[in-house]
């Protein structure tokens, strides 16, 4: 159990880096279209958040629906709000909703949380500063 904060911290950082990679790939290589929020899906549990459900059309005219990556309370979007959808043309279900800033903001938050957990994990494990090799204090 004493390794749990360190493991959680590393997983948060790895997840954030993957999220940043995936979102950046969609921004650089994917297509962007305007979509509309058609609903807000409430998560289950004590602290429920709302995820936007967005409908968009690809450039070929096919209609898709996707769920936002992050939820908020209160709902970040209202029904019929326009949003930018970035998607992979080869796999239109692979989407990101929002701006590059929102991608960076989410990744930085996850990295900060990961660093905090990792720092607590290192403190719990008792790692200390290594002694100076020159013999000085």
CA distance 22 to 42: 25
| Structural domain contains residue 22 | yes
Is 110 among the domain residues?
yes
Asked if 136 and 67 touch (Cβ cutoff 8 Å), the reply is no
What mean pLDDT do residues 78-94 have? 89
The answer to whether residue 137 sits within a structural domain is no
Q: Give the start-end residues of each E strand in the chain.
A: 31-42, 50-57, 63-67, 82-88, 91-97
26 in Cβ contact with 93 (< 8 Å) = no
Tokens standing for residue 18: 């993957």
Residue 133 belongs to some domain of the structure: no
| Range(s) of the domain holding residue 9 | 4-125
What is the per-residue pLDDT across 12-47, written as a single tens digit (0 to 9) for each?
Answer: 888 888 888 887 888 888 888 999 999 988 887 777
- Residue 131 in domain: no
- Chain position carrying tokens 């209160």: 74
Residue 46 lies in a domain: yes
Q: What angle do CA 105, 108, 110 make, to 5 degrees?
A: 110
Which among 97, 106, 89 has a CA at the least distance from the CA of 55? 97
Residue 11 included in any domain: yes
Q: How far apart are CA 61 and CA 30, in angstroms?
A: 16
Cα-flanking dihedrals φ and ψ of residue 133, to 5°? -70, -15
Per-residue pLDDT of 87-108, as tens digits, reads 988 888 888 887 777 777 777 8
The reply to whether 132 falls in a domain is: no
Domain count, the chain: 1
* Separation CA 52–CA 55 (nearest Å): 10
Per-residue pLDDT reduced to its tens digit, 1-21: 777 888 888 888 888 888 888
Mean per-residue pLDDT, 70-98: 85
- C-alpha–C-alpha distance, residues 134 and 15, integer Å: 40
């Amino acid at each position: 159990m004493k390794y749990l904060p360190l493991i959680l911290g590393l997983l948060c950082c790895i997840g954030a880096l993957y999220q940043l990679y995936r979102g950046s790939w969609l921004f650089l290589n994917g297509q962007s279209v305007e979509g509309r929020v058609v609903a807000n899906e409430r998560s289950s549990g004590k602290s429920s958040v709302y995820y936007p459900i967005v409908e968009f059309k690809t450039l070929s005219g096919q209609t898709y629906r996707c769920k936002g990556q992050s939820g908020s309370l209160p709902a970040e979007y209202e029904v019929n709000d326009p949003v930018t959808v970035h998607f992979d043309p080869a796999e239109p279900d692979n989407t990101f909703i929002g701006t590059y800033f929102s991608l960076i903001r989410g990744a930085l938050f996850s990295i900060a949380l990961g660093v905090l957990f990792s720092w607590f994990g290192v403190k719990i494990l008792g790692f200390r500063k290594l002694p100076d090799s020159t013999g000085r204090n």
